Amino acid sequence: MKFYDREDEMETLRKALRLSDSRLVVVAITGRRRIGKTRLVREFFRQEGVDYLDLFIGVKGEKLLMEDFAEEVKRLTGYSPRFENFGEFLRYLEHLDVRAVFFDEFQNVLRVNPAMAFELQKFIDRNESKPMLLVISGSYLGMMRRLFASRKAPLYGRSTVFMELKPLHPSHVFEMLDDLGVKDPEEKVAFYTVFGGVPKYYELVELLGKMTLRELLTDAVRYSTFLVSEGEGLLMDEFGRAYKTYYSILRAIAMGKNRLVEIANLLGMKPGSLSKYLDSLINYYGIVARETPVLGGGRSRYVIKDSFLRFWFTMIEPQLRNIEAGDVGSFEHFLEKNLKVFLGRAFERTVADILWELNGDIITFDKLGPQWGRNYEIDLVAVNSVEKRAVFIEAKWGTSVDGPREIGKLIAKSSLVPWKGEKDYLLIARGFRRECSDCMTIEELVSHLNP
């Protein structure tokens, strides 16, 4: 599949490569699994025409891993001795004339042999003046922070650049889908609402040749285990022994239990003991967000930030038993009944992502988020603090929305909000039974991304 975007990250790597002409430069890249870290690094070296060692850290014995490393050294240089351990390999690397080295999935050293991280620390400290670009990638944010970010971490202070690869923007996802044959703006939005900006998931479109989300999900479950196992796989690798607790918390949030007491009650835990897990999900792993009303006036709530995990826990996890038993028919029935409901609830987050990318085009704002209180909830409010103006936004997944009626309801709800500035209104939907001046279709919204 074609390589999309990542222009800023490519430029950062180019600067690091230039800097490494005279000294050792270490670039650490992290980000959730499937986000495109390996593809980014390989594409960068390909574009720059740089020969490099491509070293994948698999979960295996250290000696077996060194056999893989020896094969890669032989591929690049024509010769390699045998290495008994990682330290021996690094001592050989000190004298090897190689421009760049890429350690992929480096967090796995914590499972192979944690001492490997300290060996790399010593290598970096011994070779500060060696002209080399050392790129280290890792899929699990928690593990990479354990290696790099805390003061007690073995590689603390050793990275010249620490880059967290973010999901692609909606415009790049829509360009990708367009190239794959998905032309309908509504389908593009539906795909993005489920898969977010994670490039790897869109390979399913290329693989299965399905141009609608519902057809793709049905075939993906019927013919591939990838989609089914992905959610559990992401969490088991990231959380390790604490997997069951974190899994239960995410499942509770997906079920609509989004306040601390509600989650604790469902799990049979005390709120105090639950807080540390939620704090980790927010600050350490970046999977959950603690939301507060953008204009104040309501209690906070917890939401799953990751688009795919939000979908997986809502639409796949409840059907795991049927899917694993081969009863795909039950899943199809469940999908037919619930997919539209899921898209309706998650659509506002896709709209928020699009509006952030369009900031300054349709509307201009410095804050954007949901607003709620005791007797009301508004999907989004875009706040321009300088102009003291707020745009109240509702996102409807319907195809026959009564525009004037919904705008009237939005105006009524906005009167309950603690906001004294100017107010504007925007209603976004797939289609309207009656349109209005403040109405916009998905097709119109998407068209602003690629005018």
User: pLDDT digits over 299-338, tens only?
Assistant: 899 999 999 999 999 999 999 999 989 898 999 999 999 9
Q: Which of the given ranges, 85-94, 109-118, 216-225, has the highest pLDDT on average? A: 85-94
Q: How confident is the model at residue 223 (pLDDT cuts 50, 70, 90)?
A: confident
What are the distances in angstroms from CA 232 to CA 46, 225, 243, 314? Answer: 33, 12, 9, 13
Confidence at residue 372, expressed as pLDDT on a 0 to 100 scale = 95
- Name the average pLDDT for the chain: 93
30 membership: H or E segment, kind and range: strand 24-30
- Span 3-41, pLDDT tens digits: 888 999 999 999 999 999 999 999 999 888 889 999 999
Query: What is d(CA 439, CA 441) in angstroms, rounded to the nearest whole number?
Result: 7
> What is the model's pLDDT at position 140?
65
d(CA 16, CA 97): 18
- β strands within 141-280, DSSP E: 161-164
Look at residue 146 in the predicted model and tell me its pLDDT: 74
With residue 446 as reference, give the H or E element that holds it.
Answer: helix 442-447
Secondary structure element (H or E) that encloses residue 329, with its range = helix 328-357
CA distance linking residue 149 with residue 162, whole number of Å: 9
What 3-state DSSP class applies to 318?
A: helix
Please state whether beta strands 301-304 and 288-291 pair in parallel, antiparallel, or not at all (unpaired).
antiparallel
Quick one: pLDDT band at residue 391, thresholds 50, 70, 90? Answer: very high
The pLDDT assigned to 231 comes to 86
Secondary structure tally for the chain: helices H, strands E: 20, 14
More confident residue, 401 or 324: 401
Q: How sure is the predictor about 451, in pLDDT bands with cuts at 50, 70 and 90?
A: low
Q: What are phi and psi of 100, to 5 degrees?
A: -150, 150
**Closest to 437 in 3D by CA, of 416, 410, 407:** 407
Q: Which domains does the chain have, with CATH numbers?
A: 7-164 (3.40.50.300), 172-345 (1.10.10), 354-447 (no CATH)
Q: What is the pLDDT of residue 141?
A: 67
Average pLDDT estimate for 413-419: 94
Mind listing the pLDDT tens digit for each residue in 83-112? 999 999 999 999 999 999 999 999 899 889
The pLDDT, as a whole number, for residue 165 is 92
Q: Are 379 and 394 in contact (CB under 8 A)?
A: yes
Q: What single string gives the DSSP state of each residue in 130-156?
A: S-EEEEEEES-HHHHHHHHTSTTSTTT
DSSP designation for 234: H
Mean pLDDT of 47-56: 97
Here the contacts of 37-40 (C-beta below 8 Å, separation 24 or greater) are: 37/104, 37/137, 37/139, 37/165, 38/104, 38/137, 39/3, 39/199, 40/6, 40/9, 40/10, 40/13, 40/165
pTM: 0.92
Task: Round to whole Å and give the CA distance between 6 and 13.
Answer: 11
CB 212 within 8 A of CB 204: no
Instruction: Determine the Cα–Cα distance for residues 395 and 186; give it in Å rounded to an integer.
Output: 13
pLDDT for the residue 61: 96
Q: To which residue do tokens 């000190």 refer?
A: 94
pLDDT-based confidence at residue 151 (cuts at 50, 70, 90) = confident
Q: How far is CA 11 from the centre of its chain?
A: 21
Span 61-78, average pLDDT: 97
CB neighbourhood size of 446 (10 A): 20
Give the pLDDT confidence score for residue 394 in this predicted structure: 98
Burial tier of 85 (Cβ tally within 10 Å: 0-12, 13-18, 19+)? middle
Q: What percent of the chain has pLDDT over 90?
A: 78
Q: Looking at the predicted structure, is the pLDDT value of residue 238 above 80?
A: no
How many residues are given for the chain? 451
Q: Using one digit for the tens of pLDDT, what is the confidence trace for 243-289? A: 899 999 999 999 999 999 999 999 999 988 899 899 888 887 888 99
Q: What is the 3-state secondary structure (H, E, C) of 358-422?
A: CCCCCCCCCEEEEEECCCCEEEEEEEECCCCEEEEEEEECCCCEEHHHHHHHHHHHHCCCCCCCE
